[in-house]
Amino acid sequence: EVLRTVGEGAYGVVMRCRDRVSGEIVAVKEFKINSADPDVEEVRRTSTREVTVLRALSHPNIVAYLGDFYAGEKLYVAMEYLPRTLLEILDDTNGAGLPSEDVRLYVHQLCDAVAFMHAAGYVYRDIKPENLLVDDSKRLKLCDFGFARRIDVADARGNSRGKDPLTDYVATRWYRAPELLLGQPYAGADGATTRTGYGQPVDMWAVGCLMGELTDGEPLFPGDSDVDQLRLLQRCLGRLTPGQMMAFSLNPNNAGVTFDDLRDAEPEGLDARYAGKMSTLELDFCGRLLTMNPKERITGEECLRHPYLAEHNRAED
């Protein structure tokens, strides 16, 4: 029994429903599969991927899969229902941000989920407030796995160069890591496609962006284009790595674009951005997430061992 629609995306609609047998409240996602739609194959791939990932991952901070079924050509996926998204909770603060202990609670749970996914060989690729569900006891759960992909864990920090490359356009722009902003793939002189590799560190960058947003209620890097996004993050954190700058400059899609105006500029720094709002420990943790070089960026497991979250573990014990 459908009670109401609670969300809608490009590929599906999520409804709050009641199981007529048990009376349990569940969430049901209806994928917009329509043979007449020119994007039907992409919707089918996304829906199949989401079901596969949900079936494979069972964790306290990942929304629970309850089953799936077809009605005609439409796929429906049943999941546990949580009443709010983290975006709605943020909106209720009217731009003030959350108390520091709530920020740590939510970041801790998110890192738990991401570390579990990464250990299982997945990259999530779309961390943002609207994809994080929260119940009345502040239990956070990651949802919407349409962009999640299984990758070669041995190359988890720099995938997308092999036989089955990762999609280039992923993640909402404000949460994209620098390696996702260096330009669209292009054909080289030999006709081979050149693309920038990426892997699980893109998820960790997004956690850092989210932590900042939870702290002061404002998106950390609200760029209106990929180039503007790169400009904003360099103004705050400093220049791209030499390798990233070379990849950006060699990409013909970026012809004529430079960051010369930033060459001699002193970056603002996270300490200035969050002065009086983040402690030294919080700044260290956030800074390790927002590291330009993905190979130096802190991992999910390393996050859980960082004093910022390790102290939270001891407090809970």
DSSP element (H, E) containing 278: none
Provide, rounded to the nearest whole percent, the portion of the chain with pLDDT above 90. 71
Q: What is the mean pLDDT of the chain?
A: 90
Task: Mention every residue, 6+ apart, whose C-beta is less than 8 A from residue 267.
Answer: 234, 235, 236, 237, 238
Range list for CATH 1.10.510.10 in the chain: 84-316
Please give the C-alpha separations between residue 239 and each of 120, 243, 288, 303, in angstroms, as whole numbers.
Answer: 33, 11, 16, 24
User: Which pLDDT does position 170 carry in this prediction?
Assistant: 64
What's the average model confidence in pLDDT over 139-165? 74
Lowest pLDDT segment from 168-182, 192-206, 264-278 = 168-182
Confidence of residue 163 (pLDDT cuts 50, 70, 90): very low
Q: Mean of the pLDDT values across residues 115-127?
A: 96
121-130, 154-163, 287-296, range with the lowest pLDDT: 154-163
Indicate the annotated binding residues for ATP: 29
User: Residue 101 has what pLDDT?
Assistant: 96
pLDDT tens digits, one per residue of 63-93:
999 999 988 888 899 999 999 999 999 999 9
Give me the pLDDT at residue 36, please.
Answer: 67
Q: Where in the chain is the domain with CATH 3.30.200.20?
A: 2-80
Q: What angle do CA 136, 148, 182 make, to 5 degrees?
A: 115
Q: Residue range 205-226: average pLDDT?
A: 97
Q: Which residues are catalytic?
A: 126
Q: Could you tell me the pLDDT band of residue 41, with boundaries at 50, 70 and 90?
A: confident
Amino acid letter, 69: F
Task: Kindly tell me if the per-residue pLDDT of 308 is higher than 70.
Answer: yes
Domain topology for 84-316: Transferase(Phosphotransferase); domain 1 (1.10.510)
Higher-pLDDT residue of 172, 235: 235
Q: Which stretch of 85-99, 136-150, 185-199, 221-235 has the lowest confidence by average pLDDT?
A: 185-199
Specify whether the CB–CB gap between 159 and 199 falls below 8 A. Answer: yes
pLDDT at 152 > cutoff 60: yes
Query: What is the pLDDT at residue 191?
Result: 84
Most confident of 45-49, 179-183, 250-254, 287-291: 287-291
Q: What average pLDDT does this structure show over 238-265? A: 93
pLDDT of residue 161: 46
Identify the bridge partners of residue 25 per DSSP, sorted by sequence position: 18
Residues in the annotated binding site: 29
Interval 137-159 mean pLDDT: 82
Q: Which helix H or strand E contains 67, and what residues bound it? A: strand 65-71
Eight-class DSSP state of 62:
B
| Nearest residue to 27 (alpha-carbon basis) of 38, 40, 16 | 16
Pick among 3.40.50.280, 3.40.1180.10, 3.30.200.20, 3.40.50.1820: CATH of 2-80:
3.30.200.20
| pLDDT value of position 293 | 97
Task: Give dist(CA 224, CA 233) in Å, integer.
Answer: 13
* Contact of 103 with 289, CB cutoff 8 Å: no
Could you tell me which residue, 50 or 155, shows the higher pLDDT?
Answer: 50
pLDDT at 162 over 50: no
Q: Is the pLDDT of residue 177 over 70?
A: yes
